[in-house]
Structure 1
Amino acid sequence: MPKRYKIEFFEQKDFVCYYPTGFTTIDTHHEISFGSKVVKAICKKQPNGRNIISISSALAKQLYLPTFISTITLFENDIRLVIGPLIGIFSSGFTNFPVKPIGERSAVFSKLLSMHSSVGVVPFIFGQEHIDWNQKLIKGFFFTKEGWTQMTVPFPNVIYDRLPNRRSEKLKTSMKVKDKLEKENFIPWYNPGFFNKLDVYERLFNDRKALLYLPETAPFISFDQIERMLSKYGHIYIKPMNGSLGLGVHQIIFDKMKNAYYCRYHDSKNHLLKFQTLESLINHVFANKNLDRMIVQQGISLLRENNRPIDFRVHANKNEHGNWKITAIAAKVAGLGSPITHVKNGGEIKTIEEVFKDKEEQIKYKKKLEYAALDIANSIEKHLDGIIGEIGFDFGIDTKGNVWLFEANSKPGRSIFSHPNLREFDFLTRKLTLSYSIFLTEKFLNKYKELSV
């Protein structure tokens, strides 16, 4: 099992590494690696019984090992000493401003990168323009006590995909970087791509456990389809297949008593429009929208607070052992007149304890949400492509206490962590995002070892 150790640097012109006393008993290693960089070195056990890694200045320079780091992970490996992991966070939208190298997202990434010492990893962020393919080096951005700094490092052990949107993901340059680093350089790449709502639904439909949580969902086909679902459920949602942040979500309600159709949605403000026919509703509201890119989803009679519907965000992360762990649960209460619970549309973040005053209800619903998230996380991992290390789920709970999956997000937003009582969970989600790279690195080293035998 990999273990985190303190690391120190000392001045010497030779390539020397003293590894912790408790790490191994035989001085057989003649190489040390950091990321893709491998250097022949004098590797010996600490002579004075110290449980710390000591690296000479010459060796650190040759490995391109940043000397601001205070802890690092040491991996068991028969071939060489492996330290790291070096985590490359791939993104786009870089600027020429040293204080904000990746624009407004710099603050989010600085929080993530500042976790390095508590996890024992070396994370940096980079874009396609920072790669030197010939030398297999990257001029990445690190976050230190002094702020942002750019340093040259080898190709990383793993890559965490943080492209900001589907448009950047589909650029030829982005696809080329992923293809070359993952397939030609054999670097594990986790959380690739954004989930497509319909694709997730169709892939999970034949999974017995996941099916329990899936509302009826289908691509938009015709008025007859909507009429049938309205007759069955009373209300439905029409939303973009590849939407996010609640953008483009429309709730359609059929009032049998008034024989009228209502459409609730939000653009710059909340709207509630009344129509005598479904056709007039569709022609008016969706006149400039491509219905072929929309899905129709069963409406759920949700639990409410002060007549405002509630849904729940659940974060699931893989840990350093490669196991799913529930890292955060929050309630989102919709704004008045809004069909969605997003904060930008007047929604409010609350804890489970604030929504359910009764202790038994708190425990009951928390367990239901945790079980649902773990069931679906395992199903998604089984049925979707790529290495998945984190998922943000949006769940609803109906008036009968049943849990429904509204959406799974491969790159979940972090608005729930603005709540003061959820900040410790913000810390946990960031920590596990980096910890998972330790598992992936060890897994790759073991695979490489098997191929080498």
Structure 2
Amino acid sequence: MKRTKVKIVVPSAGKSSSLDGRTIMLSDALLKRWKISTQTPLTLRFGSAKHEVTVASTSQTGVLRINDSIAAEWGLSHGDSLCLQYKASTRTLHIGPLIGVMISRVYPGNVDRPFGAITAFCRELTDACKLYGASVYFVTPDDLNGQSDTVRGWHYAGKWEKQPFPVPHVIYNRLTSRKLENRANVQQFIRHAKTQYQSVLFNEKYLNKTEVFDALNKENGLHTYLPESHLLQNFQMLKTMCAKYPVVFLKPITGSLGKGIIRITRQADQTYVCHFTNLSSTRKQSFAKLSQLFAAISRKIKQRRYQIQQGLSLIAVGGRPVDFRALVQRNEAGQWGITSIVARIAGNHHFVSNLARGGSLSSVKEALARSSSTAASGGAIKLRRAALAIAKGVEAQIPAHFAELGIDLALDTQGRVWLLEVNSKPSKDDNTPLSTDRKIRPSVRRIVQYSRFAAKF
């Protein structure tokens, strides 16, 4: 397969007569290098779309001139920079890759922030695509039709516009709820794209805490990172865990942002203290007996499934516990690598470190130094090793395709690394390197680089 990068040239309406809908133009040098005949028709493909075309030569180098009707039909803009590859065996020219990003919602009345809090990320991803010769559009579940070969999506070309696109080479799932992800039309579209056009879907589903821990327990070498953890099913399980550990945590298996977490601490006099997280603070309640505690929380655990997990004694900064978020992504060769790791220091009077609850970010180096703990020695290397091993374990044990994972880790006061959680939809706000410039972040570059690899561009 032969490949290069070209600029898309779309003649203006007044000049379009020089190109009919079945003729494209490539440079003489490219035609000679790839041994493409101008006499024989070939196929031009972009995602799911294709046209039978003939090729004419042009003296302009590094351009692909196409008719304005094809450009409009495919969502291409004049000046787009895309990869071009030629498969001589099928006489097919492929342009792309085309990336479709599934997002939860659009606010069309908000011109500056049509995608709410992720608008800046969408612009950044668009800029990264220009840099690497790719095209991207953004689509909501409301715009997906299971059997259609076109998708109406949002694309940035000086301003946000909605227009038709082919089914993409690569689908990046950024849907933020399981309800949206599981909608019938969304699942139908995914099946259609994968089976009919071999589209690659990544981060295809949410992970829950029980699923992750059960899967990683099967992977040799990962047990050392896993605190004891079970799906909470009855009082006996609570009693057993509370007898074994002085502190246990109850975590909603589908929770995020620390919502709904309960910390249970066994006191010296065998009473129990519960700390409940709510939206902005922590509520404390004491119980003389464990049975009373269970009665108080039984309604919660009937309404929602909880994971019960061994409590850990974490390193701290100023008395506030610290954990670490590693962003692990596949690179341009499809291999897992560490893009970034940041430390998250819990806010005052909180035992969870989420930024939404008053937590703060720090570099790993600074947090380890500020902890003044001998357990911090060599911590950075141990965290990187653990994050990479866990990502590979998820890949090996969970039957779904992921290309980026947010992996939450902790370092205890003995210097041991523990896994807290794996997030298949890592936030684009709180997992990024501490930076004030407006350059394209490595995490965003990596998404496009991997998409090129996945689409074989």
Same fold by TM-score, threshold 0.5 exceeded? yes
Instruction: State yes or no: 1:53 paired with 2:63.
Output: yes
Q: Any idea what the Cα deviations from partners look like across 1:47-71, whole Å, max 9, x if unmatched?
A: 56x4x23323347537625225542
**Corresponding position of 2:169:** 157
* 8 A contact 1:321–1:436 mirrored in 2: yes
Residue 109 of structure 1 corresponds to which residue in structure 2?
Answer: 122
Structure 1 residues 251 and 431: alpha-carbon distance in aligned structure 2, compared to 1, 3 A threshold: same
* 1:369 pairs with 2:383: yes
| Alpha-carbon contact 1:271-1:337 (below 8 Å) kept | no
Match of 2:152 among 112, 123, 139: 139
Cα–Cα, structure 1 residues 162 and 356, in superposed 2: closer, same or farther, change >3 Å? same
* Residue identity (%): 24
The residue number in structure 2 matching 1:448 is none
Q: Per the alignment, in what secondary structure is the counterpart of residue 109 of structure 1?
A: helix
Q: Give the direction of change, closer, same or farther, for the CA distance of 1:44–1:350 in structure 2 (3 Å limit).
A: farther
Matches within 5 A, 1:279-294: 279-290=291-302, 293-294=305-306
Q: Which residue of 1 is the match for residue 270 of structure 2? A: 259
Q: Decide which moves more: 208-217 or 304-313.
A: 208-217
1:415 and 1:133 mapped to 2: Cα distance?
31
Q: Which residue of 2 is the match for residue 447 of structure 1?
A: none
Matches within 5 A, 1:82-121: 82-97=94-109, 99=111, 100-121=113-134
Q: 451, 454, 457: which one pairs with 1:437? A: 451
Provide the TM-score with structure 1 as the length reference: 0.87
Q: Deviations over 1:385-409 (max 9, x none)?
A: 2221110000011111111111101
Partner of residue 17 from structure 1, selected from 21, 25, 35 = 25
Distance change >3 Å, CA 39–CA 205, structure 1 → 2: same
Cα displacement (A) at 1:221: 2.6
The Cα shift of 1:46 comes to 6.5
Q: 1:417 to 1:162 in 2, by over 3 A?
A: closer
Is the contact made by 2:340 and 2:432 (CA closer than 8 Å) also made in structure 1? no
Distance 2:293 2:406 in 1: 33
Instruction: Tell me the equivalent position of 1:323.
Output: 335
Return 247-256 or 362-371, whichever deviates more.
362-371
Which residue does the alignment assign to 1:337? 349
Q: Is the 8 A contact 1:352 1:362 kept in 2?
A: no
CA deviations over 1:312-341 (Å, ceiling 9, x no partner): 000011122111121110001111221211
Match of 1:270 among 257, 282, 287: 282
Change (3 A) 1:3 1:427: farther
Shift of 1:81: 1.5
Deviation, structure 1 residue 272: 2.5
2:426 corresponds to: 412
TM-score of the aligned structures, taking structure 2 as reference length:
0.87
Q: Deviations over 1:402-449 (max 9, x none)?
A: 111111011011332577438789711111112211111118xxxxxx
Query: SS at 1:416's partner residue?
Result: coil
8 Å Cα contact 1:69/1:122 also seen in 2: no
Amino acid at match of 1:18: L
2 CA distance for matches of 1:176 and 1:341?
Answer: 38
**1:244-291 superposed Cα distances (whole Å, 9 cap, x missing partner):** 1111111111122x3221112211321222221112223234544427
Counterpart residue identity of residue 365, structure 1:
G
Q: 1:226 Cα shift?
A: 2.2
Tell me which amino acid in the other structure corresponds to 1:387: H
User: Aligned partners of 2:202 and 2:319: how far apart in 1?
Assistant: 40
Assess, with a 3 A threshold, how the Cα gap between structure 1 residues 38 and 111 changes in structure 2: closer, same or farther: same
Three-state SS of the structure 2 residue aligned to 1:81 is: strand
1:358-406, CA deviations, whole angstroms, 9 ceiling, x for partnerless residues? 9999882222111111111111111112221110000011111111111
Equivalent position SS for 2:109: coil
* Counterpart AA for 1:74: L
**Number of residue-to-residue matches in the alignment:** 439
Counterparts of 1:214-253 in structure 2 under 5 Å?
A: 214-253=226-265
Tell me how large the CA RMSD over aligned residues is: 3.0
Matched residue, 1:204 = 216
Instruction: Give the whole-Å Cα distance in 2 for the aligned partners of 1:421 and 1:117.
Output: 22
Counterpart residue number, 1:402: 416
Look up the equivalent residue of 1:199 and give its one-letter code: E
